Structures are given as C-alpha cells and as structure tokens.
Amino acid sequence: MDSRTFKRRVLLPLLTLGITLLAIELVLQAFAFLAPRYYELLRGTIAVSVPDPRLGTRPNPAHPEHDERGFRNASIPSKVAIVGIGDSQTYGLGVRREAAWPQQLETLVRQPVYNVANPGWGPTQSLLLFDEVLALEPRLIIQAFYSGNDFYDAYVTVYDAGQFPELRTTNPRDSSLIAAAGTPAALKSELGEIQAAFRRPWARPAAGPPGVAGR
C-alpha cells in the first residue's frame, strides 16, 4: 500500500472520526452549560423525588419539569382555582407533563389547575399536605384515590414505617384484624398478584346452548 492509498483508506477515516467526536463533545459541553438541568436529566442523574422527613419523599425542585415548590407544573400560578392531589397517576408518571389529568382538566375548564402529586404517595401524605394546599386558596380540591394500592400505602406508612401514630386504631378488634392480615411484605405480594391478574387479558366466556340467555 503506497502512502496516498494509506492516507485515503486509513488516515482520512480516522481524522473524520476524530473531528466528529470532537464536535459531539463540544455540542454536549455547550448543552451542559446552557441547560444544566436538562443535561443532568439526559444523563439520568436527576431523580423525580427526593427524601423528605415528613412525607417520606417529595418531588424534586431541581427536576426541569417541576416548579419552584417541586411539583410538576410549568409554573406556580398567582391564583389557583383547582388543586389535584394524588400519586403517580395524578403526577402523570410515564406521560408528558401536559398529558397528566390536572393539566388536561385545566385545558377543559380554562381555569388554573395545580398538580400536587408524587409517585408513591397515599392518603396519609395528602393529610400532611392539606395546610400547604389550603395556602394556595383554591376553590376546589380534588383528592385522587386509587384503590389499587392507596389502602396498602396508608397501611405501610402508619403501621410499618411508624409514621402518623395518631392514625393508628385504638380499637382492639381492629388491631387484631390488622395483625391477622399479615406482614407488609405478604400484603405487597398479594397486591402484586391482584394487579398482575387485572393486567392479563380477560378470557371470553363460553357461549351457552342455543336459545339460553347467559346470566
């Protein structure tokens, strides 16, 4: 292989690759400088939630989709008409911020709707947030309740994590029923089985004999 062929087949591709990698690095560095929060999100280093001593976890104010309070809103409106409180379904986990139901409700009613939600929250967190929500002076508060796991979340928070001792029952009969229900791990396993069953496609019921109506 002569020198001209070597340059064309080896050196030129290597030089092109080097320039391309350098250009990509410069673009990433510029992106990190101009939009550091989105850059960290792209790297996967910004968590949706952060630890909170009262709530267990709280939405992360450093997340680029969250407002200064940490909630998933574009901004904090000067006047709030409706507040939606809930867990991941209200937060809109897995969908764009604009697709979460509080933002969709805002589009429908044409009134400011404020999203106060965090994945993993349950009714006990809503109780703690009530004063914070009332400070926004909304005309309406919507507590979104998901029967699939909110009862379990409340149970674990009060009886396993030891939070909100004032919510523990003082009725001996209820205490016995709670103890007989099993450990939180066992209940979580049962809850997972129930949720998995509902995710499976339902089988079409067999047709009855001709002329016999199904019940």
Burial class (CB in 10 A: 0-12, 13-18, 19+), 52: middle
pLDDT digits (tens, 9 = 90+) for 157-182: 888 877 788 888 889 898 888 788 77
Question: Which region among 92-106, 128-142, 198-212 has the lowest average model confidence (pLDDT)?
Answer: 198-212
Q: What is the pTM of this model?
A: 0.66
Residues 6+ apart with CB under 8 A from 122: 87, 149, 150, 152, 153, 154, 157
pLDDT digits (tens, 9 = 90+) for 40-89: 555 556 888 999 988 889 999 989 899 999 999 999 988 999 999 999 99
| The pLDDT of residue 115 | 97
Tokens coding 131:
């004063």
- Rounded to the nearest 10 degrees, how much is the dihedral formed by the CA atoms of 77, 82, 87, 93? -60
- pLDDT-above-70 percentage for the chain: 75
- Comparing 165 with 183, the larger pLDDT belongs to 165
pLDDT digits (tens, 9 = 90+) for 30-39: 655 555 555 5
Residues 6+ apart with CB under 8 A from 80: 112, 113, 114, 136, 137, 138
Cα–Cα distance, 88 to 201 (Å, whole number): 23
Assess contact for 90 and 97: CB atoms under 8 A: no
| The pLDDT of residue 138 | 96
